[in-house]
Amino acid sequence: MKKMALLCLFTAIICGNVFAQSNTPITTIKGTLKLNGERFSVISGNITYSIRGLERLVGVVDGLKDGAQVSMDGYAMAPATAGQNERVFNPVKLTINGKSYDVGSPGAANSATGRSGSGAGSSGRGR
């Protein structure tokens, strides 16, 4: 019974997140990347966007480093704990040095390298 309740709870959370993003318009931000510890942020205008998941592309995307000029398409959200000029940004597309990368899905890091996502992590079986 506990497993079923947890399954229902997780399903509701996932559906809520998908629904929330599908009703949020895609936003484009342009600015300078800043590395804060292990996370990236972008200052665009007077708003600081904390970028989710971009750190997984360090070493894969040429030029992805502190101080780089970037443009990103994605979903901006203002969490209740954020200040007036702070947002969290879930990118779906990154443009840096004239090249665009799809970064909006779990296997998106592979689109920057040309690898397929068919390893043990995505299929559950090793090769």
pLDDT in tens, 28-82: 999 999 998 889 999 998 999 999 999 888 888 989 999 999 999 999 998 888 7
User: Does residue 102 form part of some domain?
Assistant: yes
User: Does residue 18 form part of some domain?
Assistant: no
Q: Residue 79's closest CA among 99, 49, 119?
A: 49
pTM of the model: 0.64
User: Does residue 1 form part of some domain?
Assistant: no
Task: Answer for the pair 91, 77: CB distance below 8 angstroms, yes or no.
Answer: no
User: Does residue 52 form part of some domain?
Assistant: yes
* CATH number for the domain that contains residue 87: 2.40.50.140
Domain that holds residue 89: 25-106
Structural domain total, the chain = 1
- pLDDT for 24 equals 77
Cα-trace Rg, the chain = 17
How close are the terminal C-alpha atoms of the chain, in Å? 36
DSSP H stretches of helix in the chain: 2-22, 108-113, 120-123
CB count, 10 Å around CB of 66? 10
User: Does residue 119 form part of some domain?
Assistant: no
pLDDT in tens, 1-34: 777 776 666 676 665 555 555 577 999 999 999 9
User: Does residue 126 form part of some domain?
Assistant: no
User: Does residue 71 form part of some domain?
Assistant: yes
User: Does residue 58 form part of some domain?
Assistant: yes
